[in-house]
Structure 1
Amino acid sequence: MLPRRSVRRPVLLAAQCRTQGGLRDNGEISDISAEGCCLRMRGIYFRVGTRIVLRPQGMESMAGVVRWVSRDLAGVEFDRPIYGPIVDHIVSAHAT
């Protein structure tokens, strides 16, 4: 396993998720960095390599790929990193 490029920061942020196959579910982001997040889903389970579109509450959609899975948790790497000050704002608004 490769080390992360930046530290994940704890948050609690509702999110909607859609797979390329059309499955949709609501869940929550439990930590986030510019490059990715940990996502807890309620009804669908992912496989490593699954492409998803994630829409955190109050934000625009972002695409990514599932890099790891453990029960109802999935690690997502974003296709494009989030701008650092935006991550800071998300963390300050949704810190656990």
Structure 2
Amino acid sequence: MEKRQSERLPVAGSIVCDLAGNVSETQLCDLSPHGCKLAHADPAIAEGVTLGLTLVGDIEIAGTVRWISGEHAGIEFREPLSQAAVLYFALPDMKPLGDISTTDGFGRRLPPLSQAIQREAS
């Protein structure tokens, strides 16, 4: 078995899998720019089969099934996925940026970043 081109990051998320027109939702277990591991993969998946994956919104990527083990399948992407897309899945659930509360070194709450930027612009 060939060594992976990049480290896979553990992730959790639902994606859409298109296997010869049979579209289903599946779970992403890990992800790198060059491939991923799927859980609860379609029983029709076999090694060497090409499939399409739809990640966030309209990010679509084609891949080839490289291995199958139980309900898991390893996919190698035809083209590398952007690092931004990988990090989207790898980062833990975060609040929207406007909701992040920051504190200084003494635990005092800082004003929202948008207010600080507006003051600098004035």
TM surpasses 0.5: yes
Contact 2:41 2:73 in 1 (8 A): no
Sequence identity of aligned pairs in percent? 30
Alignment size in residue pairs: 93
Greater shift, 28-37 or 79-88, is seen at 79-88
Q: Deviations over 1:1-56 (max 9, x none)?
A: 01111111000010111112x22221111100010000113553411011100112
- Which one scores higher on RCO, CA 8 angstroms, separation ≥ 6? 1
Give the superposed CA RMSD: 1.8
Query: How high is the TM-score relative to the length of structure 2?
Result: 0.68
Q: Superposition pairs for residues 11-90 of structure 1, below 5 Å?
A: 11-20=11-20, 22-41=21-40, 43-90=42-89
Q: How far apart are 1:93 and its partner, in Å?
A: 4.7
Gaps of 5+ in 1: none
Runs of 4+ in 1 over 4 A off after TM superposition: none
Which of these two proteins has the greater Rg computed from alpha carbons? 2
Higher strand share: 1
Unmatched tracts of structure 2, length 5 or more: 94-122
